[in-house]
Structure 1
Amino acid sequence: MTTVLARVQGSIGRLTVNRPDALNALDLAMIRALLAALDAWEDDPAVTAVVLDGAGERAFCAGGDIGVVHSSAVGDPAIALTLWREEYRLDARLARYPKPVVALMDGITMGGGLGIGGHAPVRVVTERSVLAMPEVAIGLAPDVGGALLLGRAPGELGLHLALTAGRADAADALHCGLADHHVPSDRLPALVGDLAAGAPIEATVTKYAEDPGPAPLAAARCWIDRAYGDAPSVEDVLYRLEAMDEPGPRETVAAITAAAPTALKVTLRAVRAAREMTTIEQCLRQDYRLCSRFLRHPDLAEGIRAAILDKDRAPRWRPGTLAEVDDPAVEAFFAPLADELDLPVRCHVLHP
């Protein structure tokens, strides 16, 4: 089966990640195929824009190929490092592509899916969309520039999503700045048809867009900001949450304490550091440092085993408590690598 469908439809290049049985999870061959199509269309005058979507009705893209990452974590680290290097190059390429990219994030959009969709200049979600960066649940920190996206969310909502592995529906995605438009899924074919016919992108997407309704996270922002704002540590976040007598904070405590202690502390620092960044390349270089270190940390293989492979939901984190993860241990994840991520320098302006 061809796992990436690349074709020209009218005036647009159509890119479809086509691995629906695996929720369109990205492997190295798919990443390279997406990059090759973007390279081919960059100077093609017949292609004025790119539309990126996923096959099937369940997922846009559920992330990177986690089985490959697990095999690499317990075997050859070079395999996952190569995957991440090329995946991050793809994320940056989509963010800086000289032609408009419209990402139709219909269905599950997690991890690497948000990497290829969330940095596009025009991002569409539907009533079926579920967006998340759930890495702390498997002993990893958000990557693919996810910390940059989450760090730009209003108040502390992005940090809340990162530390809880939380999920955002269409309304929350728009409120948090992870998407730009909500278009009902049954209107997507007509939308694509108009774009292929050369209709102006923003006006056309706006024509098909509808209000997704109120965002649950907007209603919860008051207590979320109180819990996370200026908290010096994850332990302090939990202390504040435990002092709140509301269902939301109690559920949040349970979600955070289920995640890997090391991943939580690294993620707290990563998202806050990303708030000071101005380019996706800065964040991707940080991501590569973090993932390189997590690849050699016992929690990543254990987290994937518990959540994906054995599905027993009983990971044995090492260390097992937040108190055992000291500042030097966190600092080590951010230290420069001997072999840093090298991203091509392009003159194209980064889309806001």
Structure 2
Amino acid sequence: MGLPEVWNLLCRFNSFKRTNIILQHLRMSKHTDAAEEVLLERRGCAGVITLNRPKFLNALNLNMIRLIYPQLKKWEQDPETFLIIIKGAGGKAFCSGGDIKVLSDARNTNQKVTQDLFREEYTLNNAIGSCQKPYVAFIHGITMGGGVGLSVHGQFRVATEKSLFAMPETAIGLFPDVGGGYFLPRLQGKLGYFLALTGFRLKGRDVYRAGIATHFVDSEKLGMLEDNLLALKSPSKENISDVLDAYHTKSKIDQDKPFILEEHMDKINSLFSANTVEQIIENLQQDGSSFALEQLKVINKMSPTSLKITLRQLIEGSSKTLQEVFVMEYRLSQACMRGHDFHEGVRAVLIDKDQSPKWKPANLKEVTDEDVNNYFKSLGSNDLKL
């Protein structure tokens, strides 16, 4: 073998080795990136969960769920952990929702993803709802969809003037899941029905006034509040509550501003207290006020199927336990994944961004009771087990 051959062989070996090192590094960085999507730390008296995908507004994915759930369970059993805090990195969002594009992509490639993600997400939401340790969510910034599921079932939810809450799922052919069927119908009057059907956004102190947050704190005080909570020595639920109450009482931002929907609450309560979406629409048309007509315009853009399953989800959820609601919502989620509108909604809003989804069926009267019933059917042995 002459020198050139040896040289070629060496170069080939080196590039093979180089490629291998690069591949290994990519695999590692992929792995570490995945691990760093959530930071889990024991600090002071607390376990602290930080959602760490600020570039993606801390959107929740399956990997994050799989990191949070076992740690939550561990801290719940740990006698040295008195409190669990969850927050988002980056200041813009607590958690903007679930990674829905992944779900839509999985339609053709891997249906197991859509089963696993909803099953494990709702299992985590339920674990938060039944957590034996005080659970404090800092819902600072955008909090929608999956982010609501990580916060609203916990004992304490702290909003700031930068909080932005919405359940906008009817606009993408889905329904307000993550336990929306439980907490929305339990808000004052028909507020939850209004928020669910229209996707109306609540900001700042209004998130507290609506009953979604338990406390409101000026955002510049959030760091101090966290430090105070972490410094508590073997705190009881009451001790934690006292600290939160003290900060809440001192918060001045928008203190004297009335709830944004206050002047409309009577209308919301009467117009949205119907058992069918058609009746709600008729109520809005008959009312004819600028507020009613504005809501009508919004509702008419939503998926007709989503509107019908959402109204029924809330009516049924109003008398179910949280666990029963998750079982119902899991059935709905799987039916939506099999259906047309969710994938069309994702296409229109996230992929082509043309904002003009073509819903099927295109109007309410074509969505039959039988269609709606099919969404609520048991999945037999595939039902969610909590």
Fold conserved (TM > 0.5)?
Answer: yes
- 2:160, 2:205 within 8 Å by CA — same for their partners in 1? no
| Selected match of 1:215 from 226, 235, 259 | 259
Task: Please state how far the C-alpha of 1:80 moved relative to its aligned partner.
Answer: 1.3
* Paired position in structure 1 for 2:329: 287
* Paired position in structure 1 for 2:302: 259
* Paired position in structure 2 for 1:313: 355
Task: Decide whether aligned partners of structure 1 residues 73 and 215 sit closer, same or farther in structure 2, where only a CA change above 3 A counts.
Answer: farther
Choose 107-116 or 37-46, whichever is displaced more: 37-46
* Paired position in structure 1 for 2:77: 43
Task: Please state how far the C-alpha of 1:122 moved relative to its aligned partner.
Answer: 0.5
Indicate the structure (1 or 2) with the bigger Cα radius of gyration. Answer: 2
Q: 2:193 matched to 1:150?
A: no
- 1:149, 1:177 within 8 Å by CA — same for their partners in 2? no
* Paired position in structure 1 for 2:20: none
Rounded Cα–Cα distance in structure 2 between residues aligned with 1:119 and 1:215: 22
Rounded Cα–Cα distance in structure 1 between residues aligned with 2:106 and 2:196: 24
| Selected match of 2:101 from 67, 76, 83 | 67
- Provide the aligned length of Structure 1 versus Structure 2: 341
Rounded Cα–Cα distance in structure 2 between residues aligned with 1:112 and 1:130: 14
| Selected match of 2:172 from 138, 142, 147 | 138
Normalised to the residue count of structure 2, the TM-score between the two structures is 0.86
* Paired position in structure 2 for 1:331: 373
Rounded Cα–Cα distance in structure 2 between residues aligned with 1:331 and 1:105: 35
Rounded Cα–Cα distance in structure 2 between residues aligned with 1:194 and 1:175: 25
- SS for the counterpart of 2:271 is helix
Normalised to the residue count of structure 1, the TM-score between the two structures is 0.94
* Amino acid in structure 1 at the alignment position of 2:260: P
Question: What is the root-mean-square deviation of aligned Cα atoms in Å?
Answer: 1.2
- 2:96, 2:144 within 8 Å by CA — same for their partners in 1? yes
Rounded Cα–Cα distance in structure 2 between residues aligned with 1:155 and 1:295: 31
* Amino acid in structure 2 at the alignment position of 1:233: T
- 1:152, 1:177 within 8 Å by CA — same for their partners in 2? no
Task: Please state how far the C-alpha of 1:112 moved relative to its aligned partner.
Answer: 0.6
- Runs (5+) with no aligned partner, structure 2: 1-32
- SS for the counterpart of 1:295 is helix
- Runs (5+) with no aligned partner, structure 1: 344-352
| Selected match of 1:33 from 60, 67, 72 | 67
Q: 2:206 matched to 1:172?
A: yes
| Bigger share in helix | 2
- SS for the counterpart of 1:178 is coil
* Amino acid in structure 1 at the alignment position of 2:284: L
Task: Please state how far the C-alpha of 1:173 moved relative to its aligned partner.
Answer: 2.2
- SS for the counterpart of 1:187 is helix
Rounded Cα–Cα distance in structure 2 between residues aligned with 1:160 and 1:252: 9
- 1:139, 1:300 within 8 Å by CA — same for their partners in 2? yes
- 1:158, 1:176 within 8 Å by CA — same for their partners in 2? no
What percentage of aligned pairs have identical amino acids? 39
* Amino acid in structure 2 at the alignment position of 1:24: N
* Amino acid in structure 2 at the alignment position of 1:31: I
* Paired position in structure 1 for 2:11: none
